[in-house]
Amino acid sequence: MKKLLITAMAASLALATSAALADSMLKAGLWEVHVVKQVMDGRDMSAQMAAAQSQMQQMMANMSPAQRKQMEQMMGKKAMPSSGANRICVSQEMASRDKPMMPPDAKCEPTKFERSGNKTSFTMNCTTEGRTMAGKGESIASGDTISTRMDMTMTDARGTHTMQSESQMKFLGADCQGVTPMDQLVKEMQASRKK
C-alpha cells in the first residue's frame, strides 16, 4: 500500500505539474507545490501523506552529514519545507515549452489541451513502467498561483485504482535557491538508473 501511495502521489504531482507546464503563464524559477486533496479509491489519503512527509523529514534528520549533504545537493536545501509542500525549480527551457512535461520513457497518446483565458483543460492517457494512467483535469492560473484538479485511473499488475486530487503551485521567485531544475533532476535520475 505504501508503494502504491507513493506512486500515486508522484503520479499526481507529475500530472499536476504537467498541466501547469502547459500553461503559457508558467515562469522560470522556484515554485512551491502543495497537494490540497488526495482521494484514492474513495479514501482520503491526507493523513497518510502527512505521515509520509514526517517520515521523510525524520529520515533526513537521521542521515549522516555526508548523506544529508548529498541529498540536499540533489534536491536543494529548501526543496522540502516543513509545511508539507514541495519546492520545484522550473528551468527557462521548461517554462518556454508549450506542451506538458512527461517522463521520457512514457508512451502517451496525444494529450488534449484546451485553453480559454486563464483556464486549461486536459485529458491524457500514458503507459510507463507497466502502469497505465488515464485522466482529465483542469488548471486555473491566477496571478502567481496555478490551481489544478484532476481525476485519474491507474492500472498496474495489482489492479485498477481511481484518484482525485487537487494541488496548487505558487511562484516564489526567479531564484531557485539551490533547488535543482526538474528537467535536470530527471536527466540525473535516468543516468543513475543506467549505472
Domain ranges of the chain: 2-194
The model's confidence at residue 29, banded by pLDDT at 50, 70 and 90, is very high
What are the CB-based long-range contacts (under 8 Å, 24+) for 132-136? 132/156, 133/11, 133/15, 135/15
What span, in angstroms and rounded, lies between the C-alpha atoms of 163 and 142? 25
Question: Could you read off the pLDDT of 134-170 as tens digits, one per residue?
Answer: 989 898 989 999 998 999 998 988 899 999 989 899 9
pLDDT greater than 70 at residue 22:
no
Q: What is the pLDDT of residue 98?
A: 61
Q: What is the pLDDT of residue 126?
A: 84
Mean pLDDT of the chain: 76
The SS3 of residue 148 is strand
pTM: 0.70
Cβ count near 176 (within 10 Å): 21
Which three cell numbers, joined as nine digits, stand for 89?
Answer: 525549480
Strand partners, 31: 88, 171
pLDDT greater than 60 at residue 180:
yes
The whole-number average pLDDT for the span 66-95 is 69
Least confident of 98-102, 119-123, 144-148: 98-102
Residue written as grid cell 500530472: 15
